[in-house]
Amino acid sequence: MRFDIAPELELFAESVRGVLAEWEPLPETVLGEWADSRDDALAARLAALGWAELWADAELLGPAVAGAVELGRAVAPLHLLDEATLGAPLAIGGRVRHGEGQSKAAFALPAGGLAHCPIGEAKHEPSLDSVGTILVEQRHEQRLEDAEERWRAWNAATVAYLAGLADSAVARSVEHVGSREQFGAPLAALPAVQALLADAALARDGLLLAAWSLAAPDADATDVLAWAGGACREATMIAQQAHGAIGFAMESGLHRAFRRAKTVQVWADASGPW
């Protein structure tokens, strides 16, 4: 076991951060209305780094995990995970995320199956998050032979993304409570605040280690993902609490990680075999 991050992984993470630094998130949308943060230009820039190929090569899962953590830190759109691992936007039941304008979706089938199906007529479904949910009918199945490998990659990518989300929430919170003063001292000096952020940091560190463990090709990601959504949700909820009213204001942007964590958790739960 080695717990230090190898220089080549840090180098790839730096490349992903470089791509994300040029990305402009979707401008604020109106809550309760349909919104899609899909960004094909960002996808193209990631593809130039070999993003999708990483997930198909057992020897390259380390950089793949490193990249997914960075996407989570930036709250990047989820189709970047789905298309790199499943080959198309994810569809579960009658819902597709980020599927608007796409020719096909990757439908979850019972017992861990997966099928690429064309997207026909679609109806927008406003959602908690800007994942462009559309309601569709599944037309016919092109069952994928490599469904198990693809789901494993998607599970690992999703755990790593959740780890990045939690990490960004904790980092923002530590910065906030160190600078925001109440009762004549930084919030960071209050034991109650320290306890809150300790719990968030515990979730964050567990998520990061769990994500890195999935860089091993034989590691089972199903159980880890079943836990990871809730752990990340807890970290982002704590971040909201630590920020107080400013985090509740849309202009803070903190809500992006909060809403995304719950969205990823629910989609992950819906993808599970239970």
Partner 1 sequence: MDLRLTDEQQALRAEAAAFCAGVRPLLEADPEWRRQGMLSDGDSSAVNRALGDAGWIGMSWPPELGGRGLSRLDATLVEEVFGYHWLPLSSYLLSYKTIGAALERFAAPALVEQLLPPITRGELVFCQGFSERGAGTDLGSLTTRAVRQGDSFVVDGHKIWTSGAHLADWIYLAVRTDPDLPKHRGISVLVAPIDTPGIEVRSFATLGGGTLCEVFLDAVEIPAENLVGELNGGWAVLMHTLDFERITAEKLGGVAWLLDRLEERVGSSAQLARLRGELTAARLLSFRAADTLDRGLPGSATSAMAKLSGARLMQRAADAVVDLLGLGGLGEGADAALEGRAAGLYRGSVGSTIAGGTTEVQQLVIARRGLGLR
**Contact residues for partner 1, defined by CB under 8 A:** 1-6, 9, 62, 170, 174, 177-178, 186, 188-189, 191, 193-195, 197-199, 201-202, 205-207, 209-210, 212-213, 215-216, 219, 222-228, 230-231, 269, 272-274
CB 218, min distance to partner 1, A: 8
**Residues paired with residue 116 on neighbouring β-strands, in sequence order:** 106
Q: What's the token pair of residue 45?
A: 């820039």
Residue 142 or 194 with smaller CB distance to partner 1: 194
Query: What's the min distance (Å) between Cβ of 224 and partner 1?
Result: 4
Which position has the token pair 């016919």?
140
Structure tokens at 5: 């991050």
Please, which residue, 126 or 273, has the CB nearer to partner 1? 273
What residues contact 267, with CB distance under 8 A and at least 6 apart?
78, 90, 92, 97
User: In angstroms, what is the minimal distance from the CB of 180 to partner 1?
Assistant: 12
Q: How far is the CB of 43 from partner 1 (least distance, A)?
A: 27
**Would you say 66 or 75 has its CB closer to partner 1?**
66
**Which residue lies nearer to partner 1 by CB, 254 or 268?**
268
Nearer to partner 1, 35 or 200 (CB): 200
Helix axes 191-213, 147-179, angle to 10 degrees: 160
Instruction: Tell me the backbone φ, ψ of residue 53, rounded to 5 degrees.
Output: -65, -30
Distance of closest approach, residue 264 Cβ to partner 1, in angstroms: 14
Angle at 113 between CA 153 and CA 134, to 5 degrees: 85
Q: Give the separation between CA 41 and CA 152, rounded to whole angstroms.
A: 26
Q: With contact defined as beta carbons under 8 Å apart, do 79 and 101 qualify?
A: no
